[in-house]
Every structure is written in structure tokens, then in C-alpha cells.
Amino acid sequence: MNQKLELSAAEMRELGYRVVDLIADHFLNGRDRPVGKKGDPALLRAAFHEAPPLAPSPIGEFLGRLDRDAFPQTLNIAHPRFFAFVPGPSNFVSVMADALASGFNVFNGSWLGGSAAAAIELNVIDWFRQWCGFPEPAGGLFVSGGSMANLTALVGARHSKLDEHTDRAVIYYSDQTHSSIDRALRVIGFLPEQMCRIVSDAQFRLPMDEVTRRVSEHRAAGLRPFAIIANAGTTSTGTVDPLREIAAFCRAEDLWMHVDGAYGAAAVICDRGRRLLEGIDLADSLSFDPHKWLFQPIECGCVLLRDAALLKQTYRIMPEYLADVHRNAVEVNPCDYGIQLTRGFRALKVWMSIQYFGFRAFQAAVERGFELAEFAERRIRTLREWEVVTPAQMGVVTFRRRGAGEGFYSKLHDAMLESGFALATSTVLNGETVLRMCTINPRTTEADIEQTIQWLDELARAS
Ligand SMILES: Cc1ncc(COP(=O)(O)O)c(C=O)c1O
């Protein structure tokens, strides 16, 4: 019995090479396979319903099961024809970085536990700070994704503006804002009536005249306007809220400005994105998701605060068993800046992939997302039976089939999944269901888009 849970050098290499082979095969041949599959719950749960094996199973057996029965029944969000939700066009270098971070099991919660990891994280966060144009005192940390980034930032905002007391506080955002904001607000103690969700304008942007009206109405009623959430790329349409105008209003009204850039903030690294995101540098806090448009594997999110010290005031607790951790003020302890104590070395994947490919490759890869959405828009416009609902913006285009009846998009979705050639998903705009393509995968080709749109048209005719 291997009670020490140890492997010999040969065993480690054998397992390691077989795992790397599976991953390499996935990256090399994924394009020729289906975009993935949704498993039948009864069959799939039965297939994986078992007691833990008491004795060792052969490697080939359990890896074979994963390869045959598990991974094909997930969606390949890095597939070049995966246009649904927000794709996750990860990269192999970052996957290896995750293996290293896990292999060395780096504790990235304190300077004592992982000094070099903290130093690398601080450096990568500083790259983000510079790309977004934030001033020097800005900083932040890596978290699991956009939802945690939004939560981490809003806790900081509550500390800064409300001294933790949420009673009568009100926060403002458009109806296009991601649900993770509502969830974060629930977690930090906001009631539905304190979340002022405002109907967006014709371009799906936050209408500032309405915000102004509501804020003054609420002040007059004795409520405490507290913050505005601005979107730097909404999930449905890629819309950017009027960031400069929101920032000016927040300054004038002493409100916190949080920018949810989980989807779109990475676009600041290319010229076009920087222009569209003008004013992002004025935010008090920002969510930024490298596991979306910065090509990192899940989980990789990030939160930035204009004043990093505020995160520390919000989160730092110094219990007696961490006295050795908190001895030296120049040592930065990531656990003081967020919710997690034990945390992985997420910055490594960003750092290592940028070392490997160079930053210019990332800039070009982001730029490509814009171009592909524009290409998709042009192709859709050539089809008589379809119309563009929102033009390509920030890598997203939405469109609809003229005269589509009840259930059309659900049927289309089922047909797409059934075939596995490509996947796009729907959203609802002004009460009407539309189809949406998000084109941020730099490995997508014009031919992929062309074929997908033609195929969608054929599916639609048949359904
Ligand atoms: C605009 C926006 N905010 C927040 C999130 C939540 O991010 P995550 O899924 O990484 O938690 C998403 C996810 O798509 C998003 O598009």
C-alpha cells in the first residue's frame, strides 16, 4: 500500500507525460472536434456515481475514462468556433504555469509563505495598473474571476464610503450590468430596494440624466447614494458606459465609481480598446478578468483599487497565529488585501505567458477580437433573413432572424449543440431574444466565422 502517496521518478514522468499528451492533443486537435456537449444528467451522473476505489486503478483506465467520457461532455470554450457566452481562449504556456504553481504548491497568501510569488504578483498587478492608466498608489490582487473581483471591490467601497453601514445606502447601475454585481451586493447586505437598476438607453448605456434625477430624488428622501457601477463592456452587447461622464458625476457627488471590466477591460492593451475605454483610469475600483480576453485558463480574475491601501484597511486582520507573518511592514501579504488567506499563485500564468509570447502578441491577439466581430457583422449584413441588432463592439455582435417565432432560438441552440460544429448563445435585448457572437479567440479564422454564419442560416431554415 502506497500510504506515503509517493511516486518514483519513472512513475511521475509516466503520469506527467500522459497528462501533457492529453493536453497537447486537446490544443492541437480541438478545432477538428465538436465544440463540446451537454451530458444527459441521468446518464452522466450514473456514469460517475461510484464509491472511491480502495485499491489503485491503472493510470490508463482512469485517464482513458476522463478522455473518453468526461472531457468530451464539457464545452470546449477555447474552440475557435465557440462564440457563446464569453469564450475562454486559454493558452498552453499558462496551463504549464498552472502546473508549476500547483506542483510547487506555492502559498501565495503571505510574504513569508511565498515571497517571490508575492513579488511577481505585485509586478503583474503593476502592469495592469499601467495599462489601465491608474496612478502609482493603485494596486490590487488576483482573485478567482470577475464575480470575486466585483465582490472584493464593493466591500472596499462599502468600507470607504459607508463605514460598513449599508442602511439607506443606494447604488446605481444599468439593467445591462452583470448579475455578479447583484450577487455581490446581496452578500454585502444590500436589499433589493437599495439596488437602483436603471433602464439603459437606446445604445444599452447607463443614462446619466436618469442617474442624476434618481440621485437627487433619493437624497431628498433621506437616502444615501453611495456608488455607481460602470460597465467596460457589457456581457450582452459589449457596450461601454460613458466612463468620463460617470467619473465626473461621482467626483461631484462624492460617489464611489466601480468599473466592471471583467469582460472588456483587457482591451485597454490595444489602441482601439484604449480609445473606447477612455476614462477607465478615473475609476475608484476596477474588475479585470485575464481568464477572458487575456487568454488565461480559469481561474484568473483581478481587482484593482485606485488606492491599494484602502483594500488593506478593509481586509487586514492580524490574529495571533499570524504574528510571524505581520512582523515587517515592507513585506506585502496578499491575504491583507482580500478575502482569501490560502491562495494559489495565479499571477504566474499571466507572467509566464507574457514572458513566452511577448506583450506585443497579446496586443495583437486582443485587436484580432475586434476585427473578427466586425467581419461577423459584415457577413450577417449580407443575409436577407437576418439583421444586426447591435453592431460589433468590443468583440461582440448581436443579430436576429427576421420574423423568428416563439422558441426559435431555443431550437437553434439545441440544433447547434447537437451538431457541435459551432456554438453561439442568445441574450435578451429590449424584451426580445437575439443571437450573440463573442469573437475574442485569436485562433478563430475568417473562414470559421463565414462557415458558422452560413451554417446558422441553414440550421434556421431547417428548424
Ligand atoms: C461583465 C462581466 N462581469 C462579471 C462577470 C463574472 O465573471 P466570472 O464569471 O469570472 O466570475 C462576467 C462574466 O462573464 C462579465 O461578463
Q: Is 173 in the pocket of ligand 1 (CB under 6 A)?
A: no
**DSSP 8-state secondary structure symbol assigned to residue 281:** G
Per-residue confidence (pLDDT) for residue 462, from 0 to 100: 86
Q: What is the CA(253)–ligand 1 centre distance, in A?
A: 28
Q: Is the pLDDT of residue 463 over 80?
A: no
Grid look-up 458625476 returns 249
Helices (H), 8-54: 9-29, 41-47
Q: Is 240 in the pocket of ligand 1 (CB under 6 A)?
A: no
Torsion angle (degrees, nearest 10) of CA 293, 295, 300, 301: -20
* 91-129 residue pLDDT tens: 999 999 999 999 999 999 999 999 999 999 999 999 999
Q: What is the mean pLDDT of residues 191-213?
A: 98
Element (H, E) at 378: helix 359-381
Q: What is the CA(180)–ligand 1 centre distance, in A?
A: 7
Q: Which residues contact 207 (CB under 8 A, 6 or more apart)?
A: 174, 198, 199, 200, 201
* 207-262 residue pLDDT tens: 999 999 999 999 999 999 999 999 999 999 999 999 999 999 999 999 999 999 99
Q: Is 178 in the pocket of ligand 1 (CB under 6 A)?
A: yes
- Global pTM value: 0.98
Q: What is the CA(331)–ligand 1 centre distance, in A?
A: 31
* 277-323 residue pLDDT tens: 999 999 999 999 999 999 999 999 999 999 999 999 999 999 999 99
Q: Is 305 exposed, middle or buried (0-12, 13-18, 19+ CB in 10 A)?
A: buried
Can you tell me which atom of ligand 1 is nearest the CA of 233? 1
Per-residue confidence (pLDDT) for residue 406, from 0 to 100: 86
For residue 244, count other CB atoms closer than 10 A to its CB: 13
Of 370, 124, 153, 380, give the one whose Cα is nearest residue 260: 153
Q: What is the CA(367)–ligand 1 centre distance, in A?
A: 20
Q: Is the pLDDT of residue 445 over 80?
A: yes
Q: What is the CA(239)–ligand 1 centre distance, in A?
A: 14
Considering only CA atoms, which residue is closest to atom 4 of ligand 1? 146
Q: Is 262 in the pocket of ligand 1 (CB under 6 A)?
A: yes
